[in-house]
Amino acid sequence: MIRTYSQALDYIYSFIDFSLTKNLRYSPEKFDLGRMRKYLDLLDNPQENFKVIHVAGTKGKGSTAAMIASILGASHYKTGFYTSPHMIDFNERIRIGDKVISHSEIIGLLNQLEPVIKQVPELTTFEIITGMAFKYFSDQKVDFGVIEVGMGGRFDATNVVKPQISVITSISFDHTKVLGKTLKKIAFEKAGIIKENVPVVVSMQKPSPLKEIKRIAEERKAKLIYAPDLYSIKMKNYSIEGQFFSLIKEKEDFIDISLPLLGDHQIDNARTAFATIEELIKQATKIASDAIVKGFNNICWPGRFEIINRKPLVIIDGAHNFDSFKKLSETIKKYLPGIKIILIFGASEDKDVESMLNTLQPLIKTLIITRSEHPRAMELIKLEKIAESINLPYKIEGNIKNAIGEALMLCDETTAIIASGSIFIAGAVKENFRG
């Protein structure tokens, strides 16, 4: 009998957790949807009791999913949102509307699920959590579940759903040991979520992944909706508080959007979210224009160029690969012109850290090397060698709290503090900064 939240988390993480596995490589026996299907069968397939929007991609899938969920919520649909990983507290992964699942609800669910879990050998941590989310949404009688893929798509535990719409956001290099070392191979894995005769909405893509997605969509007779072909973008205004733009359809302003999330990539995510909502409307889902505007305006998606302090300016960002660091660099230049960065940085051991840091190098005044408590966090000495090799001025503070203190001492009116490299660094800095 699980009695406390701490016991609940200990139980969940006592199973195989590939997200904590160093040097993880793909093998069919590790990524097997048979376990997941058996688990859900024993739970009477709760994922079939609500409509699903299924979202995959390398970058932007969380933001896009959050926008879709926010618009559905503004339209008065009871909307579940399943995402990973969490930034500070595990319960961030499962929410209905703006309300995260409570600690007591997690305890109660796990006590119900434990007898079922025992009947399915070799279930993984992520599979257990995914089944828990599906059951929670079913028990709470949600209208929609916006489900974010954990990693990849084809063999992800979420890929047992039968969605109304599939969504594939920007594809770039990440988890290459598992998903493949070319964009075509990564796209093949992500496009594994495309189902027979189910529309798929696609964000701006490079030619190679787009070609692969189109091939698979055609093979599965899935209508492909390429958002950039539907709407162009007209920027109207932007500041550190947010950005205001129009989506243009057939040379006319189609809808004005005010978005609190910063960066050009978030505008592309918004375009994808809007294309998804338009497709839902075509499927006879009632969504008013003012609900769409409200959903975008009210979105709260932490850890994405999120300002956590004004004086001095402290920003956290979950960028964790070369492509997302390139976008982070563009966002800094656009919103903080002339400002140098004190970068609190740590990364997972499988990341191309040299490329990531090179992207930001001209903007960095001082790099503060640190490490999250995640088992896959890169060792400080490896990060130090990379900083030396690219001639970055750096300091080392293995303790996150001390790293924040060091950054605050170095900061002045010409600088801003940014914490990035992984969602775990962003979350740890946010949590410790509060203190």
For the residues of 354-422, what is the DSSP string, one character each?
HHHHHHHGGGEEEEEE---S-TTBPPHHHHHHHHHHTT--EEE-SSHHHHHHHHHHH--TTEEEEEESS
Last residue of a domain, one of 264, 297, 330: 297
Q: Is the pLDDT of residue 106 over 80?
A: yes
Counting every residue written for the chain, the total comes to 435
Tokens found for residue 347 = 């990364």
Same-domain pairing of 23 and 129: yes
Average pLDDT over residues 355-359: 95
pLDDT value of position 41:
98
Q: What is the pLDDT of residue 198?
A: 98
- Same domain for 265 and 142: yes
Together in a domain, 252 and 276 = yes
Residues 293 and 319 both lie in one domain: no
Q: Report how far residue 91's alpha carbon sits from residue 106's, in angstroms, rounded to the nearest whole number.
A: 8
**Are residue 280 and residue 376 in the same domain, yes or no?**
no
The answer to whether residues 215 and 77 belong to one domain is yes
User: What's the whole-number average pLDDT of the chain?
Assistant: 93
In tens, the pLDDT along 137-155 reads 999 999 999 999 998 899 9
Residue that finishes a domain, picked among 266, 297, 328: 297
390 and 253, same structural domain? no
Neighbours of 8 (CB within 10 A): 21
Same domain, 321 and 280: no
Q: Does 25 have pLDDT greater than 90? A: no
CA distance 12 to 371: 24
Does the global pTM surpass 0.85? Answer: yes
Using the predicted structure, report yes or no on whether residue 176 has a pLDDT greater than 60.
no
State the total domains in the chain.
Answer: 2
- Condensed to tens digits (0 to 9), the pLDDT of residues 250-297 reads 777 689 999 999 999 999 999 999 999 999 999 999 999 999 999 999
**Band of the pLDDT at 232, cuts 50, 70, 90?**
very high
Same domain (yes/no): 339, 372? yes
Q: Is residue 371 predicted with pLDDT exceeding 60?
A: yes
**What is the rounded distance in angstroms from the CA atom of residue 189 to the CA atom of residue 184?**
9
Region 22-48: mean pLDDT is 80
Q: Radius of gyration (Cα) for the chain, nearest Å?
A: 21
Asked if residue 171 has pLDDT above 90, the reply is yes
Q: What is the per-residue pLDDT for 368?
A: 97
Q: For residue 19, is pLDDT > 70?
A: no
The average pLDDT across 408-428 equals 94
Quick one: 98 and 215 in the same domain? yes
Q: CATH number of the domain that 409 lies in?
A: 3.90.190.20
Average confidence (pLDDT) over 410-427? 94
pLDDT at 26: 47
Mean pLDDT of 322-341: 94
The amino acid that residue 106 corresponds to is I
What value does the mean pLDDT take over residues 5-18? 90
What are the strands, taking DSSP E only, across 169-251?
Answer: 200-202, 224-226, 232-239, 242-249
Instruction: Name the residue range of residue 329's domain.
Output: 306-434
Are residues 36 and 112 both part of a single domain?
yes
Q: Is the pLDDT assigned to residue 179 strictly greater than 90?
A: no
The distance in angstroms from the start CA to the end CA of the chain is 34
